[in-house]
Amino acid sequence: MMPGGDQEPGSYYVGVDVGTGSVRAALVDQRGILLAFADQPIKRWEPQFNHHEQSSEDIWAACCVVTKKVVQGIDVNQIRGLGFDATCSLVVLDKQFRPLPVNHEGDSRRNIIMWLDHRAITQVHRINETKHSVLQCVGGVMSVEMQAPKLLWLKENLRETCWDKAGHFFDLPDFLSWKATGVTARSLCSLVCKWTYSAEKGWDDSFWKMIGLEDFVADNYRKIGVIGADVRGHGLACEGQPVTSRLAIICGTSSCHMGISKDPIFVPGVWGPYFSAMIPGFWLNEGGQSVTGKLIDHMVQGHAAFPELKAKAAARCQSVYAYLNSHLDLIKKAQPVGFLTVDLHVWPDFHGNRSPLADLTLKGMVTGLKLSQDLDDLAILYLATVQAIAFGTRLIIEAMEAAGHSISTLFLCGGLSKNPLFVQMHADITGMPVVLSQEVESVLVGAAILGACASGDFTSVQEAMARMSKVGKVVFPRLEDKRYYDKKYQVFLKLVEHQKEYAAIMKGD
């Protein structure tokens, strides 16, 4: 889609969103309307189980391709700002900013340890055993997906080929802003959320010394970077909006649950509180589920009826998910679609639990399997998986509320928010209305909002948010189905209880 001919020449912003599977870019105007969109897949390597790697050169090349596509035909002088968002993966460069291998093979194309990489399990156990006070700000337990355990892994496993040669360790969004500007300043968001930096107190030397990464302290954190901009003082959130009662959920390969508060709230198993990491002046708690979109893809693609599904969806020019949703509507008969899983239950932690249990040893579970392998069976397993993800969100919300949050409304964005079944199940299972933004690619509008703020065209993040993001659809929960979902939630909680019992039995003599 290109800018409409009847439009006044104005200011444009570019948003670039680097997800796990692809890079997307959008050209957005001052009203937050998306005028052009492009995407491009990015490479991923899984050289061994739990090792996930990418290439910063490949990602940057993809960013350039999609950006060039969306600005085609536009006078570059009208492009006022560019914003990035990206996964929290670790990029390693040498002192001359060249990629360094993060693998035993010495393949320097693969210089990124991805966020979902779980190679640093023993390192994170040791970090958690220190019980250092910085851990209070990551939910009490550090996740293997954060940067400190990954850095320690590099030091302990690739000392000569990587650690000793490293000049720069970037969080991926900060790598992208360095590539775009040549400035190595880091974002407060990245450093606070994934690197234990405190917006109020700075780095805690004692933590890095205690975990064995005293090198950073001696080096004055040069390889990790310093804060580029003081984001405090931008004022409060959108006028008249009770922002602290909203929970934003970014649902892609994983789901991230972003809740804010005026005072710090400590939620066991939920990352944060992080000051000013998302909205200036507010504390952020970030709950999460490590695999959601990836889990749905895994369950659907691994089923015996997947080839049949693929063929039938292609014949109708539909995505497999649109086909499955209409198939479920067909087989539900008179009952609500969610009731098809009365005897099929899933525990969704196929890649460990990020929140609120913060237990990376947890595994996935399915109960209620039959011998059938047909399309009905696949559709119902897909439904049960979507429901399990929504129950996981309910568990996170309950933990946040028990600690002091008061949440009434969910705001969903990301690839999974395009799936009406996923959205409805989140409303039904949490009992809360779900707001979707008018612009389907709202994550990209968010990145463009950052670019708009950087351009100085808006005085604050809040002003840009109010002007450029608009509510689209609101999906209300089917309250009449509440009793059914409450019962399924009881089963959901039993599943994890039983899984822990099984582990205890197997550990015993």
Ligand X SMILES: O=C(CO)[C@H](O)[C@H](O)COP(=O)(O)O
What's the closest the beta carbon of residue 382 comes to ligand ADP, in angstroms?
Answer: 10
Contacts with ligand X, 3-42, as mask; x by CB under 6 A:
----------------xx----------------------
* Closest CB to ligand ADP among residues 421, 452: 421
Q: Which span (247-255, 276-284, 384-392, 433-441) binds ligand X, by CB under 6 A?
A: 247-255
Q: Given the rule CB under 6 A, which of 232-240, 246-254, 379-387, 444-452 is the region that contacts ligand X?
A: 246-254
Asked whether position 88 contacts ligand X by CB under 6 A, the answer is: yes
Q: Which is nearer to ligand ADP, 3 or 21 (CB)?
A: 21
Query: First and final CA of the chain: distance in angstroms?
Result: 65
* CB nearer ligand X, residue 71 or residue 358: 358
CB of 121 to ligand X, least distance (A): 17
Distances 227 to 15, 183, 195, 279 between C-alpha atoms, Å: 22, 11, 12, 16
Amino acid identity at 142: M
Residue 288 partner contact from ligand ADP, ligand X, none using kind-dependent CB cut-offs of 5 to 8 Å: ligand X
Tell me which of 13, 37, 115, 321 binds ligand X, using CB under 6 A: 115
Cβ-count burial 29-49 (b if 16+ within 10 Å, e if not): bbebbbbbbbbbebebbeeee
Q: Record the tokens describing residue 104, joined without a space.
A: 């035993």
What are the residues binding ligand ADP (CB under 6 A)? Answer: 19-22, 252-253, 293-294, 296-297, 319, 321, 414-416, 418-419
Pick the stretch among 251-259, 295-303, 395-403, 423-431 that binds ligand X (CB under 6 A).
251-259
Rounded to the nearest angstrom, the gap between the alpha carbon of residue 414 and the centroid of all alpha carbons in its chain is 9
The strand pairing partners of 12, in sequence order, are: 29, 79
CA–CA distance, 21 with 27 (Å, rounded to integer): 20
**Residue found by looking up tokens 């205690």 in the block:** 210
Of the two residues 193 and 397, which places its CB atom closer to ligand X in the complex? 193
- How many helices (H) and strands (E) would you count in the chain? 15, 17
Decide: is 253 part of the binding site for ligand X (CB under 6 A).
yes
115 binds, among ligand X, ligand ADP, none (CB under 5 to 8 A by kind): ligand X
Q: Is 130 exposed, middle or buried (0-12, 13-18, 19+ CB in 10 A)?
A: middle
Q: Minimum CB separation from ligand X for residue 270, in Å? A: 12
Q: What is the DSSP letter of 459?
A: S
Do the strands 409-413 and 246-251 form a parallel or antiparallel pair, or are they unpaired? Answer: parallel
Q: State the nearest-atom distance from the C-beta of 79 to ligand ADP, in Å.
A: 24
Tell which one of 252, 269, 272, 287 touches ligand X (CB under 6 A).
Answer: 252
Convert residues 258-297 into a mask of x (bound to ligand X by CB under 6 A) and - (unbound): ----------------------------x-x---------
Total count of residues recorded for the chain: 509
Q: For residue 177, give the amino acid letter.
A: S
3-class DSSP assignment, residue 90 = strand
Please state, in angstroms and as integers, the Cα–Cα distance from residue 381 to each residue in 72, 205, 390, 498, following that order.
Answer: 43, 49, 14, 21
| Identity of the residue, 139 or 252, whose beta carbon is nearer to ligand ADP in the bound complex | 252
- Decide whether 244 or 387 has the Cβ nearer to ligand ADP: 387
Residues 6+ apart with CB under 8 A from 252: 19, 20, 292, 293, 414, 415, 416, 443
The first and second tokens of residue 168, run together, are 């720069």
Least distance from ligand ADP to the Cβ atom of residue 37, Å: 12
When CB distances are held under 5 to 8 angstroms depending on the partner's kind, the choice from ligand X, ligand ADP, none that residue 22 binds is ligand ADP
Q: Is the Cβ of residue 34 or residue 151 nearer to ligand ADP in the bound state?
A: 34
Closest approach, Cβ 302 to ligand X, in A, equals 20
Contact of 153 with 123, CB cutoff 8 Å: yes
Nearer to ligand X, 162 or 256 (CB): 256
Of the pair 364, 415, the CB lying nearest ligand ADP is at: 415
Q: Of 51 and 418, which has the nearer Cβ to ligand ADP?
A: 418
Q: How far is the CB of 353 from ligand X (least distance, A)?
A: 13
Q: How many residues bind ligand X (CB under 6 A)?
A: 12
In sequence order, what DSSP letters do the residues of 273-340 get, joined into one string? EEETSSSTTSEEEEEEES-SHHHHHHHHHTSTTHHHHHHHHHHTT--HHHHHHHHHHHHSTTS-GGGG
From candidates 67, 177, 244, 254, binder to ligand X by CB under 6 A: 254
- Of these partners, ligand ADP, ligand X, none, which one is at the site of residue 446 (CB under 5 to 8 Å by kind)? none
Distance between CA atoms of 293 and 21, rounded to whole angstroms?
Answer: 11
Of 487, 386, 441, the closest CA to residue 23 belongs to: 441
Q: Which of 272, 271, 275, 153 is nearest to 211 (CA)?
A: 153
256 lines the binding site for ligand X (CB under 6 A): yes
Residue 123 vs 341, nearer CB to ligand X: 123
* Residue 499 lies near ligand X (rule: CB under 6 A): no
Q: Under the rule (CB under 6 A), what is the footprint of ligand X?
A: 19-20, 87-88, 115, 145, 252-254, 256, 286, 288
